[in-house]
Structure 1
Amino acid sequence: MAADTISNGHTDPIPVNSIPNVLSEKPGAPAPAESAHNLKVESHSFENIVNFRDVGASTSVKTDQGVRQYIKHGILFRSGRLDDASTSDLETLTATYNIRTIVDLRSETEGKIGSMLANTFPAGAIAAVKPTDMMSQVLPPHVEDRLSKLNAKHVSVASETVVTGQRKSPTDTRLARKRSTVVAMDDLKKELSKSKQGGLTTRTTYFVNFAGSKYRYYCVIKPCPFALKLKLIGWMMIGRKDRAIRAVGSQVLQPKGLQGLNYDFLDYCGEQIIQVIRIMIASATYPILIHCTQGKDRTGLVIAIVLSLCDVPRPLIIQDYVKTQKGLEAQREVMVQEMAKTGLDATFSDAPEQVIVDTLKYLDNKYGGAEGYVKKYELQDDEIRALRAIFVAEGLSRQSNVVNANTVVALKQKGYDDLVA
C-alpha cells in the first residue's frame, strides 16, 4: 500500500491528505469550531446515487501519528435515494461496499408520487395526508401519541438475494414496499436469520416512515388555519394534491425554515429515530446504508445523533453534515425546482453549517444531549453500549486502522457478535 493512503476496507483507498486535520494539538482538547470549513468530499464512481459517503472516513482526521478514526471504516454509509441507481451503481454497492442493509427513511408516498408532484420531502409527508385527516385536530393528542408509539413498534422489511450485475429491488421502492412484510421490532433478529437463503448473500431494506403520523398531525395538520384546511380538503377531493402541497409548504413549513424543520424532527420523530438505532444494533446487518431522498435532513439528523452517542467530537459531526452541500452540488438546480413545487424556497436545498450547530444546541438544551434524548424514547443503556461496541474505533493508529478496516470487511458477512469480539 502506498505511504500516502489508508485502506478503508474498499477497493478505493482514501488519500490521507484528503482527511482534514481538525484536532487541536493538545491531547484530549476539543477540535476548533472553524475546522468544519473548506472540506473535501471523497469521490465515488456512482452515476445516479448522490451524496454517498463512508461515515467512518468522513469523520476521520489526520494527526502526527497517522489518522485518528472515531467510527470504523467500511461499516456505516449514508446517501441520497437509490431509486435511480444504474446497474453499475448497484454493482458498486454490492462489489465495492458490500452493503447488506438499507434503511429507507422516506414516507410511503415518496418514490411513487409521479410527475404530478415533487418526488421529495416534505411533499411525501403532505401527500400522505387524507382529506379526512385534515379535521383530525378534534382527536385528543394522547390518541395520536398512542398511535405513533404503536407504529414505532413495527417496521416494514423487504429482503433480496444479491445478484451482481442485475437491477433488483429494494432499489425499486414501489416493488420493495409492495412485497415487504411488517415485523415487530423485537423480532428483527429472527427476521434476519430467516432471510439467509442457503448461504447466499442477502440484502435487507427496512422502511422507516420517519415523518410519520405524529409529525403529520403536529407539524402539517394542526398548524394549518381553519380556512386553509377547508381549501386543502377541497383540493384533495378533486385530485389537486399538488396545490395542497404547495399551500402547506409555503404557508406552514416555509416560515419555520430548515432550523424549524430539524426542531420538529427532534420533537415529533423520536420513535422513528429509535427504530433506526435498533436496526443498526440488530445482528448481521453490516455494512449498513441509511438514506432518505437527498440524504440531507432526515439522514443528516439520524447520523448526527448516532455520532453523538458514539462520542464523536462535535466539530467532526458538523464536518460530516456540511459535506452534504458539496455532495448535492451537481443536482442543486433540480432540487431547487423540486422544492419550488412544494412551496419552499431554495434555502431548503442547502445544508448550511449553522443548521446542524443550532440543532445540536437544541438537542442539548431541551433533551440533555443525544443520550438524554434517546433515553426519553426508552432506548436502554445496554443498547447504547451495543451501538458503541459495533461502530466505535478506539483511537487507532495508522497501522491499526488498516488492520481494523480489513477485519470489518472480513467479518461483514457474520454479524454483531463477531464484530465486537
Structure 2
Amino acid sequence: MATTGSCNAARQSAAALALIARSKPWTIAVQLRGSSASKTSSLISPRYMATTPGNTSLPELKSVQNFRDVASSSPATINAGLLFRTARLDTASAADWKTLQQNYGVRSTIDLRSEDEQKTSPPANTNIQHHRININGSSYSRALIAHLSVWNQARLLFNAATGKRDRAIQILGANAMKPRGLVGLATDTLDASGKEIREVFGLLSSSANYPICIYCHQGKDRTGIIITLVLLLCRVDARAVQADYARSTGDNGLTQSELAERVKELQDMGLPAEFAGTDEAFVEGVQRHCQKHYGSVEQYLGHIGVTEDMSKAVRNVLLKK
C-alpha cells in the first residue's frame, strides 16, 4: 500500500505536470516586434503570410498569422501546394477555412498544441480532417522538470501543489527553460516526444492526407521542429531550412503599450525577450543533435519508429521528380 507521503508526492508531481501543460512551454514567450538578443533573427515576415511558389494569385488568409507553403523554402526541390505551415487556426474566419479548402485544397490539419491551447474546435462543415497531436505532452514535461536542480524541483512541486501557479511557472522558466534556450527545448522535444513525432510522420507518409497544414500556437517552434525534420529528410540545404524557420519572427502590429505588457509577461515568467523570436542556430542545433546522438536525421526518425518506407513515402510526395 502506498504511504501518505508517496501519495502526496504523486499528486504534487501530477500537479506540476498539469501546470507545465497549462503554461505552454513553447508559447509563453509571446511574439514581440523584435529582440535585442544577438542570436535572434532579424528577418521579419508580413503579418499574414500566404506564399505559394509559382502562384501569386492565391488569396491570403485574413485572420491567420504566419501561413505559408513549405515549398517556398526550396522551390526547386519541394512540390508546391502540398505542405503548409501556420500559426494557430483558432483565429481563422469562415472565409479563411473556405480559402484553405477551396483555394489551397487542404485535406488535413495537424494541430501540435496541448488541449489547453485549443480554444475553439475547427468547423465541422468542411471536408478537412483534423488531427490533434500534443507534441509536448507528459514525457516532455518530465524531461523539462529533470533539468531543474533537486532544490528547484522541490520549489516547483510545492508552489504547484499550493496553488501558486505564477511562482511555479517563474521557477520553471528561469531555471529550466531559459538555460536550455530555444535550441535546447527543441532537442528536448526530439528526445522526449518521439512517440508524438512518429505519429505526425505517420500522417505525413500517407499521400491521401495531402495537402496538409501543420500548426501550433505561433507556428514557430513546435511546427518548426517538424518542418525542419521533414526538409532535412528531403535533403534540403540546412541554410534554406533555417531561412524558412526565421521567417516566423513576425510583426504582430502591437502598440507600444501592448509590447511593454508582453515584455513584462516574459519577465514575470523568468524568460528573456529573445524567446519571442527565432534562434539563428535552431536548424543547425536540431541537425547536430540528430547526428551526435542518433547518427543522422534519418536514423533519428528510425529510432522513434519512422520506418524507411515511411520516410521514402514522405520524400516521394514532397520531392520534385
Q: TM-score, normalised by structure 2?
A: 0.74
CA 1:109 to 1:40, structure 2 compared with 1: closer, same or farther past 3 Å? closer
Q: 1:53 aligns with which of 68, 73, 77?
A: 68
Distance in 2 between the 1:91 and 1:338 partners?
35
Moved more, 336-345 or 367-376: 336-345
Distance in 1 between the 2:113 and 2:43 partners?
30
Q: Quick check: which has more Rg, 1 or 2?
A: 1
Provide Cα deviations, 1:150-171, integer angstroms capped at 9, x if missing partner: xxxxxxxxxxxxxxxxxx8326
1:377 aligns with 2:304: yes
Moved more, 244-253 or 42-51: 42-51
Alignment of 1:4-23 (within 5 A): none
Instruction: Report the CA distance between 1:268 and its aligned residue.
Output: 1.5
Q: 1:348 aligns with which of 252, 275, 288?
A: 275
Could you say which residue in structure 2 is the equivalent of 1:86? 93
Is the contact between residue 294 and residue 300 of structure 2 (CA under 8 Å) also seen in structure 1?
yes
Is the contact between residue 290 and residue 300 of structure 2 (CA under 8 Å) also seen in structure 1?
yes
Could you say which residue in structure 1 is the equivalent of 2:129? 204
Instruction: Report the CA distance between 1:40 and its aligned residue.
Output: 7.1
Distance in 2 between the 1:236 and 1:243 partners?
8
Could you say which residue in structure 2 is the equivalent of 1:108? 115
Could you say which residue in structure 2 is the equivalent of 1:224? 148
Provide Cα deviations, 1:127-170, integer angstroms capped at 9, x if missing partner: xxxxxxxxxxxxxxxxxxxxxxxxxxxxxxxxxxxxxxxxx832
Is the contact between residue 274 and residue 379 of structure 1 (CA under 8 Å) also seen in structure 2?
yes
Distance in 2 between the 1:367 and 1:335 partners?
38
Q: CA RMSD in A?
A: 2.8
Provide Cα deviations, 1:171-217, integer angstroms capped at 9, x if missing partner: 6xxxx9xxxxxxxxxxxxxxxxxxxxxxx962111111111222111
Secondary structure of the structure 1 residue equivalent to 2:128:
strand
Could you say which residue in structure 1 is the equivalent of 2:139? 214
Instruction: Report the CA distance between 1:341 and its aligned residue.
Output: 4.8
CA 1:283 to 1:355, structure 2 compared with 1: closer, same or farther past 3 Å? closer
Provide Cα deviations, 1:264-314, integer angstroms capped at 9, x if missing partner: 122222222111111112352111011111111111111011111112222
Secondary structure of the structure 2 residue equivalent to 1:265:
helix
Distance in 2 between the 1:107 and 1:251 partners?
22
1:260 aligns with 2:184: yes
CA 1:354 to 1:223, structure 2 compared with 1: closer, same or farther past 3 Å? closer
Distance in 2 between the 1:101 and 1:324 partners?
22
Instruction: Report the CA distance between 1:111 and its aligned residue.
Output: 3.3
Instruction: Report the CA distance between 1:242 and its aligned residue.
Output: 2.7
Secondary structure of the structure 2 residue equivalent to 1:284:
helix
Could you say which residue in structure 1 is the equivalent of 2:106? 99
Distance in 1 between the 2:221 and 2:164 partners?
27
User: Identity percentage over the alignment?
Assistant: 34
Distance in 1 between the 2:131 and 2:264 partners?
29
Is the contact between residue 71 and residue 393 of structure 1 (CA under 8 Å) also seen in structure 2?
yes
Alignment of 1:113-132 (within 5 A): none
CA 1:376 to 1:365, structure 2 compared with 1: closer, same or farther past 3 Å? same
Is the contact between residue 59 and residue 319 of structure 1 (CA under 8 Å) also seen in structure 2?
no
Distance in 1 between the 2:266 and 2:129 partners?
30
Distance in 1 between the 2:43 and 2:148 partners?
40
Could you say which residue in structure 2 is the equivalent of 1:170? 122
Give the number of the structure whose residues are more often strand, by fraction. Answer: 1
Is the contact between residue 37 and residue 319 of structure 1 (CA under 8 Å) also seen in structure 2?
no
Gaps of 5+ in 1: 1-35, 61-67, 113-167, 177-199, 395-421
- Higher relative CO (CA 8 A, sep ≥ 6), structure 1 or 2? 2
CA 1:328 to 1:91, structure 2 compared with 1: closer, same or farther past 3 Å? farther
Secondary structure of the structure 1 residue equivalent to 2:203:
helix
CA 1:239 to 1:302, structure 2 compared with 1: closer, same or farther past 3 Å? same
Is the contact between residue 233 and residue 315 of structure 2 (CA under 8 Å) also seen in structure 1?
yes
Gaps of 5+ in 2: 1-40, 51-59
Secondary structure of the structure 1 residue equivalent to 2:281:
helix
Q: 1:323 aligns with which of 247, 259, 280?
A: 247
Distance in 2 between the 1:99 and 1:378 partners?
26
Give 1:170's aligned amino acid. Answer: P
Distance in 2 between the 1:364 and 1:330 partners?
39
Secondary structure of the structure 1 residue equivalent to 2:64:
coil
Give 1:285's aligned amino acid. Answer: N
Distance in 1 between the 2:230 and 2:198 partners?
10
Is the contact between residue 50 and residue 80 of structure 1 (CA under 8 Å) also seen in structure 2?
yes
